[in-house]
Each structure stands twice: as C-alpha cells, then as structure tokens.
Amino acid sequence: MNHGIWPALCGATRYEFRMQLRRKSVWIATFVASLTVIAGLGNPWNFPHDTALPVVVAQWAVVCNAFLPIVFGVLLADRLPRDRRLHLPELLDALPAPSGSRLTGKYFGSAVATATPIFIIYFSGIIYMLADRHDPLAIPLGLSAFLAINLPGLLFVAAFSIVMPAILWVPLYQFLFVGYWFWGNLLSPSYGIPTISTTWLTPRGSFAAAGFFSHADEIMTMGGSTGSTWEGAASIALLLCSAALALFIAQRYLNWQRARQ
Amino acid sequence: MQIEIQNLTKIYNRNVRALDGIDLTIPNGMFGLLGPNGAGKTTLMRILAGILRPTSGEIRAGQIDATTDTGRQAIKAILGYLPQELGLYPDLTAREFLDYIGILKGLNDRRARAQRVNELLELVALDDVAKRKLKTFSGGMKRRVGIAQALLNDPRLLIVDEPTAGLDPEERIRFRNLLSDLGGDRTVILSTHIVEDIAQTCRNLAILGKGKLLFEGTTADLIDAARGKVWTITTDGPKPDGDLIVVSTLHLANETQYRVVGDATFTSGAQPADPSLEDGYIWLMRAARSEVTTTFPRL
C-alpha cells in the first residue's frame, strides 16, 4: 500500500467533485443567479456586429464574473463544516492519507463542480456568438477567456470559501463574503469609498480582460488603470498565490487544531 | 500483534483527566473494553487509533512506538477503525464510499481496490444495495458499511467503538458473529458499554471507570469474581432493598423474581445463582463506587 500525496489528492478531488455536482442547490442557485447575467447588459446579443470578437468574448466573461461568483462562494462555504456535521473527521483522521491531500482535493473537486454550471452558462453565450457570427475563433477565444478571466477569480474565491469556515460560522462567512464581493469588486471608485475593486486583487478578472483581450471595463477605467498585459498576468498570479497561501495557512491551522485536541 | 500501554494519561483542557495512568496489555485476538459512559473508553480508542495524542505515557503496538508522529502514521497504515459516531457521505453510494476510503487507505491499484470493495460488500451482505446512496440506508446497514470500510486494508489492528449501539437484536447478533470471525488472526479491540457484546465475543477484557483501569483479565475471571454474590429472590412483597443491586426483574403469575448482586447478609429466602459476566461487571462497578478496592483486587 502506498500512502502518497498524489493518489489521495486525486481520489479526494474525484469524490468531492462528484458529491458537489450532485447537489441540486448548485444547479438551481447558479441558474437562478444567471438570470441577472442574461437580463443585464454586456451579453453577446447586445453588441453590434462590428465589435471585435475578443472584446465581446471578454465582456461576456467579465459579465459572468460579476454576480455568479457570489453564488459560487456561498455554495462552497459549507464543504469543510459539512464533514464535521456528518461526524467524518474522526474516521478520516484515522486514515493514513495526508490531511493536506484531502483538503486540497476538497478544494479542487468542489470548486470545479461548482464552477461547472457557471461554465455551461458562459459557454452557452460563446455558442451563441459562434452561431451569430459564424466565426469558429469564438471557441478558442471563449476557452482562453474563461481560463484567464474567470478561472483565477473562481479559484481565489473557492480557496477562501473552503478555508474561512474553519474559523467562522458558515452563515456569518456567507454574509461577509457577499458584502466583500460588492465592496471589493463592484464598487466604483467614483463613490469616494476606498475599495480594492481597481487593484490586481480583484477576482472579477478586469485586469486579465484588459491585458489580454483589450477590454477595459468602466470600473477599471475609473481606477486609472491602463490594463496592460503584464498587469493582467500579475493579477492572475496574485489571485492564484493568494489562494495557495490561504490553503497552506488553513492546512497548518487544522493540523495545529488536531494536535491540541 | 500485542499492544502494551504504560502509564497512559490524557488530560483535556488542562483539568479534565479522561485517562489516568492506564497500564494495560492487549493480546492478539478479540479484546473487550468495558465501562460506563464517560469512563474514558473512546478517548483510549482515539489514542490507539492515532487521532488523539496522549498527555503522557507509552504505547507500543508490536514494534511500533505509537506515541510518536511516525509511529501514529505507521499504526494508521495497519489500522481498521470504526468510530462510535460513524460519519458517511450521504450522497455517495456504498460502493463509491468504500472506493474513496480505499483510496485514502492507500489501495492505489484500481482493479484490486474494486475487487476488495466487492468482497467486503458481500461479506457484510450489502452487495445487492451497493449502488444505493448511503442516505437511504438504515442504521444497521450504515454500521455494516462502517465495518466494511474498516476492513478494506485487511488491518492487523481493528478498533471498533460501540459498534452495536442503536442496532436491533438481530443486527446485533449478526454484527457480533462477524466480529468473532475477524478476531482469529488479528487484534480486535471492541469498546462497548453493553456487557453482552463482550460476553459473546471476547476472552480477554479490561474495565475502565472514571479514567482508571478497574479490571484486566479474562471473562471467566470476572465471572468468578462475582461468585457467591448473585442471588435470586422470589417474593410477592416489595422489591428487596438494602446493600444490593437488582440486576433483573421477572414478573411471574403471582410473584416477582428478582436477580440481585450483593453480600449474603441482606435478606432471608435468597437463592444463590450462577453469576454471569454482567453480574461480575455489576459487582465490580459496585465495589469501585464503594471504593472497596481491597475486596476486588485487579486480576
């Protein structure tokens, strides 16, 4: 028997993905929230045909990243406390698999599962663009926009939504997270309230959209950013590193908690 | 594999002494751990399973020093553990759950793991419901999934904590038989407060009370300790009182028959009875409460 990190991580990812994907609330909540996306501006069908395809794709990715990550974060917040509620830690802690593999597997598995309906909604828009413009470039552009604009932000949100409930009551975290999202991502600096919505740390993907797809949205423009390629890359790197750091600290904290029982 | 425990102490929150200087030898085969609620059984099980760290003391499982981080990890590799409060993922099927636990136990060969899962589903008679989600399972079926997951890695050390709690009589008997079959070539520690479970499965046992070891020996030793202390009293009058404990009450046509444990001085008309393991346990706990340790030495 091999009690390595990778097999346990892959196993945990696979089964956490499966469990989260089977939750009806993941599908219902995301599709209900998608009504705000479909009803809002910036949809593929709201752009004139002479707008460049990368701009339309990037705008659609940013629009999907405006509200859907709120549902995404809220739906992930119960994953760690759920194990405690189901009395699973005692069983799992008696297994030889490293606890870090289980946490990381839970992170990847449940994050990808919760992102699946978001991807379906997003990709439906890309399919619309393909049908509307008859330009096959919509597919690779759509995929790369999702990877650059949506995914880093979702991974950032997932890390905090998985680990923060280790120290916070889930409903309190969910409340604070929704507040953070509006303050830190959707609040325009024109209101005069300090916000991080125009910094690299915004998981909305504005910097990647501007840097890689020449699409600078209103909030970012007001923050005075030019949105260069290197800023887009820096924003992605910062989001991913923050996520990794959050997971690392959470793992150390959980180990410390176990040791002092 | 023999487990040697020396001077084991566990203190919670700096003042709650859950285990107090336990010295215990657990031999190969079925071993019972008995005691009332709050005696420290679960704490001892969790320490043996590597989940909790002891405050002080030594544990050796075969050649493994189970008080070090490396030792705890080595124990986990040969351990099967069925906790008192068994948690399962309700959205997984029985087969998926066992497959997942198998992965976390290091059974990395997919085909061998699937075969082992099938064998165990058959062993615990759940093969026909293997594709059903666990949230649809009864308490007894969940317990059987619990024992199956504990056996996935063919453990040399099997720890089962209160395994029959909440099971109906038929399930309990089935479970006991299963445990007895498993005890042949491995160390199986059965922790329970149900004396009958120990009586039917274990030759050796220990009794804990308030974190201390009250008894260590064979079931026959414990039964012998209550010899001459067990009586039946048949009366149509009031319930017998005095320095005794009524173990059972049988309502006859016109009278009531009481089975009591106590000294012979309390009443006339009492008939001596052969002690059972439960009588021995009751006598021991009575002695422990009265702190009459001199009348009941550790065997």
Instruction: Work out the pLDDT band at A217, boundaries 50, 70, 90.
Output: low
Q: Residue A51 gets which letter from DSSP?
A: S
Q: Tens digits of per-residue pLDDT, A65-117?
A: 989 999 999 999 999 999 999 999 999 999 999 999 999 999 999 999 999 99
Instruction: Indicate whether B115 pLDDT > 70.
Output: yes
Length of chain B in terms of residues written: 299
* Mean model confidence pLDDT for chain A: 90
- Cβ of residue B184 closer than 8 Å to a chain A Cβ: no
Rounded average pLDDT over A230-239: 92
- Determine which helix (DSSP H) or strand (DSSP E) holds A257, and give its type and residue range: helix A229-259
Backbone angles phi, psi at B21, to 5 degrees: 60, 55
Chain-chain contact of B91 with A90 (C-beta, under 8 angstroms): no
Rounded average pLDDT over B64-90: 93
Is B183 or A129 the better-scoring residue by pLDDT?
A129
Q: Which residue of A has its CA nearest to B10?
A: A261
Instruction: Indicate whether B298 pLDDT > 60.
Output: no
Instruction: Work out the pLDDT band at B294, boundaries 50, 70, 90.
Output: very low
The first and second tokens of residue B43, run together, are 């704490």
pLDDT of residue B248: 87
Instruction: Work out the pLDDT band at A218, boundaries 50, 70, 90.
Output: low
pLDDT of residue A206: 86
Query: Which residue(s) pair with B12 in the sheet?
Result: B16
A172-176: Cβ within 8 A, 24+ apart: A173/A77, A174/A73, A174/A74, A174/A77
Chain-chain contact of B107 with A1 (C-beta, under 8 angstroms): yes
- Would you tell me which residues 63-92 of chain A have a C-beta closer than 8 angstroms to some C-beta of chain B? 83, 86-92
Backbone angles phi, psi at A69, to 5 degrees: -65, -20
DSSP codes, chain B: --EEEEEEEEEETTTEEEEEEEEEEE-SEEEEEE--TTSSHHHHHHHHTTSS--SEEEEEETTEETTSHHHHHHHHHTEEEE-SS----TTSBHHHHHHHHHHHTT---HHHHHHHHHHHHHHTT-GGGTTSBGGG--HHHHHHHHHHHHHTT--SEEEEESTTTT--HHHHHHHHHHHHHHGGGSEEEEEES-HHHHHHH-SEEEEEETTEEEEEEEHHHHHHHTTTSEEEEEESSSPP-SSEEEEEEEE-SS-EEEEEEE-TTS-SSPEE----HHHHHHHHHHHHHHT-GGGS---
Rounded average pLDDT over B5-27: 93
Chain-chain contact of A15 with B153 (C-beta, under 8 angstroms): no
Rounded average pLDDT over B233-241: 82
pLDDT of residue A226: 65
Buried b (16+ CB within 10 A) or exposed e, B174-205: bbbebbeebbeebbbbbbbbbbebbbbbbebb
What residues of A are in contact with residue B107 (Cβ under 8 Å)? 1
Instruction: Indicate whether B241 pLDDT > 60.
Output: yes
What residues of B are in contact with residue A90 (Cβ under 8 Å)? 46, 51, 83, 85, 87
Chain-chain contact of B106 with A23 (C-beta, under 8 angstroms): no
Query: Which residue(s) pair with B190 in the sheet?
Result: B32, B160
Buried b (16+ CB within 10 A) or exposed e, B142-151: bbbbbbbbbb
Chain-chain contact of B53 with A259 (C-beta, under 8 angstroms): yes
Instruction: Indicate whether A223 pLDDT > 60.
Output: no
d(CA A15, nearest CA chain B) in Å: 7
Residue of A10, A94, A97 with shortest CB distance to B51: A94
Instruction: Work out the pLDDT band at B299, boundaries 50, 70, 90.
Output: very low
Residue of B91, B101, B153 with shortest CB distance to A22: B91
CB B121 within 8 A of CB B148: yes
Chain-chain contact of A86 with B73 (C-beta, under 8 angstroms): no
Q: Which residue of A has its CA nearest to B93?
A: A19
Chain-chain contact of B106 with A261 (C-beta, under 8 angstroms): no
Instruction: Indicate whether B297 pLDDT > 50.
Output: no
Distances (CA, A) of B281 to A48, B248, B296, B299: 86, 14, 11, 13
The first and second tokens of residue B109, run together, are 């060969």
Query: Which residue(s) pair with A193 in the sheet?
Result: none
- Cβ of residue A256 closer than 8 Å to a chain B Cβ: no
What residues of A are in contact with residue B76 (Cβ under 8 Å)? 94-96
The first and second tokens of residue B169, run together, are 């009589």
| Chain position carrying tokens 């039964």 | B223
Instruction: Indicate whether B1 pLDDT > 90.
Output: no
Is B9 or A2 the better-scoring residue by pLDDT?
B9
Closest CA to A158 of A71, A31, A98, A29: A71
pLDDT of residue B296: 45
| Range in A117-131, A199-213, B100-114 with the lowest mean pLDDT | A199-213
pLDDT of residue A261: 77
Instruction: Work out the pLDDT band at A222, boundaries 50, 70, 90.
Output: low
Task: Identify which of A181-185, A220-224, B92-96 has the greatest average pLDDT.
Answer: B92-96
Rounded average pLDDT over B8-16: 90
CB B192 within 8 A of CB B184: no
* Mean model confidence pLDDT for chain B: 89
**What is the Cα–Cα distance from A73 to A107, expressed in whole angstroms?**
12
Is A74 or A186 the better-scoring residue by pLDDT?
A74
Chain-chain contact of A91 with B81 (C-beta, under 8 angstroms): yes
Rounded average pLDDT over A207-229: 73
Residue of B83, B103, B107 with shortest CB distance to A91: B83
Q: Tens digits of per-residue pLDDT, A135-152?
A: 999 999 999 999 999 999
Rounded average pLDDT over B62-67: 90
Q: What amino acid is encoded at A143 in this protein?
A: L
Backbone angles phi, psi at B250, to 5 degrees: -120, 120
Q: Tens digits of per-residue pLDDT, A18-70?
A: 999 999 999 999 999 998 887 776 677 777 778 889 888 998 999 999 899 99
pLDDT of residue B223: 93
Buried b (16+ CB within 10 A) or exposed e, B209-243: bbbbbbbbbebeebbebbeebbbbbeeeeeebeee
Radius of gyration of chain B (CA): 21
Instruction: Indicate whether B187 pLDDT > 60.
Output: yes
Instruction: Work out the pLDDT band at A3, boundaries 50, 70, 90.
Output: low
What residues of A are in contact with residue B149 (Cβ under 8 Å)? 91
A237-240: Cβ within 8 A, 24+ apart: A238/A200, A238/A201, A239/A152, A239/A153, A239/A155, A239/A156, A239/A200, A239/A201, A239/A203, A240/A152, A240/A155, A240/A156
- Would you tell me which residues 116-155 of chain B have a C-beta closer than 8 angstroms to some C-beta of chain A? 149, 153
pLDDT of residue B292: 45
CB B259 within 8 A of CB B232: yes
Instruction: Work out the pLDDT band at B209, boundaries 50, 70, 90.
Output: very high
CA torsion A137→A141→A144→A145, rounded to 10°?
Answer: -170
- Cβ of residue A6 closer than 8 Å to a chain B Cβ: no
Instruction: Indicate whether A155 pLDDT > 50.
Output: yes
What residues of A are in contact with residue B135 (Cβ under 8 Å)? none
Percent helix, strand, coil in chain A, to 5, is 75, 0, 25
**What is the Cα–Cα distance from B285 to B288, expressed in whole angstroms?**
5
